[in-house]
Chains A and B, each alone.
Chain A
Amino acid sequence: NAGVTQTPKFQVLKTGQSMTLQCAQDMNHEYMSWYRQDPGMGLRLIHYSVGAGITDQGEVPNGYNVSRSTTEDFPLRLLSAAPSQTSVYFCASRSGVSTDTQYFGPGTRLTVL
């Protein structure tokens, strides 16, 4: 199993550009989520999904879109990048909503100039 994979590892964008951060898991997990990690802020939940076709907002959803067309993939879209979105982004998955163990990807470091 590859676990949770994320691409790219690093990305630099200019203000106003759009891009998609990719996340995939091969564990047949129903629950997937996106976090951003900022210094002194811990991890904050952006969006999550409890299964294919179902998504919901987390704590900091503004400026981000998600979709979940398959169980495996959960891409995060930045529609118009802003410097405030400079952060490290982590995707995570777990087998079900109430399951305890959550698996994290290696992260994407995004810089918006």
Chain B
Amino acid sequence: GDSVTQMEGPVTLSEEAFLTINCTYTATGYPSLFWYVQYPGEGLQLLLKATKADDKGSNKGFEATYRKETTSFHLEKGSVQVSDSAVYFCALKNSNSGYALNFGKGTSLLVTP
């Protein structure tokens, strides 16, 4: 079945450092890909999405490109802030599996001043 694999955390970075969180997927067909963010004590929020190959999703300085050839959707940010500390989830939605949203296990990011 469909699945998402993302790098294990926690990831600790200094403010203004470059961030990469790796995400790869396994799916039949052409899934939509997402990054969700969960701030402490809150529910998940959609951060960005891409619905077809080579699409780039972007929001709040974060970017991710849908790479069908490597089945990847890595999250990047050029300069992280303390306020970016959160748990980040990669997810996919696929018509072949009833449009359910399948999540990775999450990557915890801590940004220190």
Contacts and interface: CB of A to CB of B under 8 A. Distances in A.
Interface of A: 4, 31, 33, 35, 40-45, 48, 56, 58, 90, 92, 97-98, 100-102, 104-107
A58 B103 contact: no
A76 B90 CA distance: 25
Contact of B105 (A31, A41, A56, A92): A41
Given A42-B89, A42-B106, A98 B99 contact: yes
Contacts of B34: 100
A31 B99 CA distance: 10
B98 to A, nearest CB: 8
Nearest to A101: B46
Contacts of A4: 43
A106 B43 contact: yes
Interface in B62-103: 89, 93, 95, 98-103
B32 interface: yes
B51 interface: yes
3 tightest A-B contacts by CB? A104-B43, A42-B105, A43-B103
Contacts of B100: 33, 45, 48, 58
Nearest to A58: B100
B4 to A, nearest CB: 8
B17 interface: no
Contacts of B95: 98
16 contacts: A42-B103, A42-B105, A42-B106, A43-B89, A44-B103, A58-B100, A90-B43, A90-B44, A97-B98, A100-B49, A100-B51, A102-B46, A102-B101, A104-B45, A105-B43, A106-B42
Contacts of A105: 43
The residue among B46, B49, B51, B99 with the most chain A CB atoms within 10 A of its own CB is: B99
A40 B49 CA distance: 23
A90 to B, nearest CB: 6
Given A92-B101, A100-B93, 11 more contacts: A35-B103, A42-B103, A42-B105, A58-B100, A97-B99, A100-B46, A101-B46, A101-B49, A104-B45, A105-B43, A107-B43
